[in-house]
Amino acid sequence: MSPVVFYLCVGAGLWVAGLHGLMVVRHPLRRILAINIMGSGVFMVMVALANRGTTVDPVLQALVVTGLVVAVSATAFALRLARAVLSLSPPPRSAKPHTIKPRPTQPHPTKPRPTRDSPIRNSPP
């Protein structure tokens, strides 16, 4: 099997794995992870396709770079939003029970951060 085909299959496999995670898993952080895995799968497909000819195709490499930038910003936003959602309600229980007991950690001193974006509402929603 040529390297291109191999990496195409791996990329496709990652994509499918990510998709499976997105459809089945409920916990927000895990879904974001699943999306990132899907993204990695697509990027791997692109990189593999870039090598399909005799010379490396720079367009696909440019696409991957752009895609990475988009993925990073989207993930950042998604993480921030997921944190906000999780702080409102406890996370859903995962399918498998935890086998690792959480280590007791030092409590972090939390500074109240000033928020700039609290909308002033004139009427109750």
Residues that bind another protein in the complex, under the rule CB under 8 A:
15, 18-19, 22, 28, 31-32, 35, 38-39, 41-42, 45-46, 49, 52, 59-60, 63, 66-67, 70, 73-74, 77-78, 81-82, 84-85, 88-89, 117, 119-125
Q: Which is nearer to another protein, 89 or 110 (CB)?
A: 89
Least distance in angstroms from the C-beta of 116 to another protein: 8
Nearer to another protein, 56 or 81 (CB): 81
- The nearest distance, CB 117 to another protein, in angstroms, is 6
Select 76 or 93, whichever has its Cβ closest to another protein: 76
3-state SS, the chain, equals: CCHHHHHHHHHHHHHHHHHHHHHHCCCHHHHHHHHHHHHHHHHHHHHHHHCCCCCCCHHHHHHHHHHHHHHHHHHHHHHHHHHHHHHHCCCCCCCCCCCCCCCCCCCCCCCCCCCCCCCCCCCCC
